[in-house]
Amino acid sequence: MERVNRVALIGTGFVGSSYAFALLNQGVADELVMIDLNKDKSEGDAMDLNHGLPFSPGSQRIWFGDYEDCKDADLVVITAGANQKPGETRLDLVEKNSKIFKDIVTSVMESGFDGIFVVATNPVDILTYMTWKFSGLPSHRVIGSGTILDTARLRYLLSDYFNVDARNVHAYIMGEHGDSELPVWSHANIGGRSVFDRIHERPADYKVEDLDDIFINVRDAAYHIIQRKGATYYGIAMGLVRLTKAILHNENSVLTVSAYLEGEYGEDDIYIGVPAIVNRSGIREVLELNLDRVEIDQFKRSADVLRETMDPLARKFFENK
């Protein structure tokens, strides 16, 4: 039989259905199976998407299914879980979504799945760690969406500020996908030139202090969107498709995903948003940037915030098991 790229999507809510739609439009996968507790919803989504196949860039097979279909999947993408409510932080979701994930990941592994997990549900760094522990897979084959969306938001806002195409703006958000994340200004550049050089060249147009406002808008973007429309889903769906493409097409792309650290940046036994090289095997390598002193301290604080929530949870789920 001809080898095909199969993606199993678990969770067909706002994020999952938006991801499936973007995946269809870009023609990234050969097969997509949609799995949800609400089988009518996943069946309806599959039917609706199939009706768009004549307009898609390639032939794809899309159907609703069950955990047994994960056996031959190259990628299982999890978007299922409780949603973040207005006024609720991503970390507030942790215990209820961890219980949901235990059932999901156990069911996936019982199918015989031997591919790569991609986790998008919040709090994504902690749930990626839990997925790794529940699955028993090597850490490089369990990836969280991390700060891929925060990084995209930063690039967009910088592109708007400097009036440059976002694809030519290179900057990273690192740390928790949440309130303790940090901008890596020391490596932010436009066309290879530091954003600070750009500001100093045109002091009448640009101000260093404006960067603080840009970062605050990045950090708080989800709260503003949730307040207005109830949930965020288009941006993260596009980010997940970008990550899916990097994996299935063996791109060796650098993306700010939630990756497992084993001493990088002075941290160990934690999933957190960092630049990493992603290919068909998962995370090939975590890139260690030369952060300045402020950024080093901010990254450590972000890791500490995650540990405060994760460590008690990990003890509850995994000790004496």
pLDDT in tens, 272-293: 999 999 999 999 999 999 999 9
Which pLDDT score, from 0 to 100, does residue 321 have?
53
Kindly give, in sequence order, each residue whose CB lies less than 8 Å from that of residue 125, ignoring residues fewer than 6 positions away: 144, 146, 176, 177, 178, 258, 270, 271, 272, 273, 306, 310
Mean per-residue pLDDT, 13-41:
96
Q: Grade residue 92 by pLDDT with cuts at 50, 70 and 90.
A: confident
The H-or-E segment that residue 282 falls in is strand 282-286
Mean per-residue pLDDT, 150-179:
97
Determine the CATH number of domain 6-144.
3.40.50.720
Residue closest to 234 by CA, chosen among 152, 313, 308: 152
Which pLDDT score, from 0 to 100, does residue 116 have?
98
Mean per-residue pLDDT, 132-152:
98
Task: Determine the topology of domain 148-312 in CATH.
Answer: L-2-Hydroxyisocaproate Dehydrogenase; Chain A, domain 2 (3.90.110)
Active site residues: 177
The residue extents of the domains of the chain are 6-144, 148-312
Which pLDDT score, from 0 to 100, does residue 35 have?
97
**Structure pTM?**
0.94
Q: What are the CA-CA distances from residue 213 to residues 162, 222, 297 (Å)?
A: 14, 15, 20
In this predicted structure, the answer to whether residue 236 has a pLDDT above a threshold of 60 is yes
Kindly give, in sequence order, each residue whose CB lies less than 8 Å from that of residue 200, ignoring residues fewer than 6 positions away: none
Which pLDDT score, from 0 to 100, does residue 279 have?
98
In this predicted structure, the answer to whether residue 90 has a pLDDT above a threshold of 90 is no
Mean pLDDT of the chain: 94
CA 276-234-282 angle, to 5 degrees, is 25
Q: Grade residue 111 by pLDDT with cuts at 50, 70 and 90.
A: very high
3-state secondary structure of 3: coil
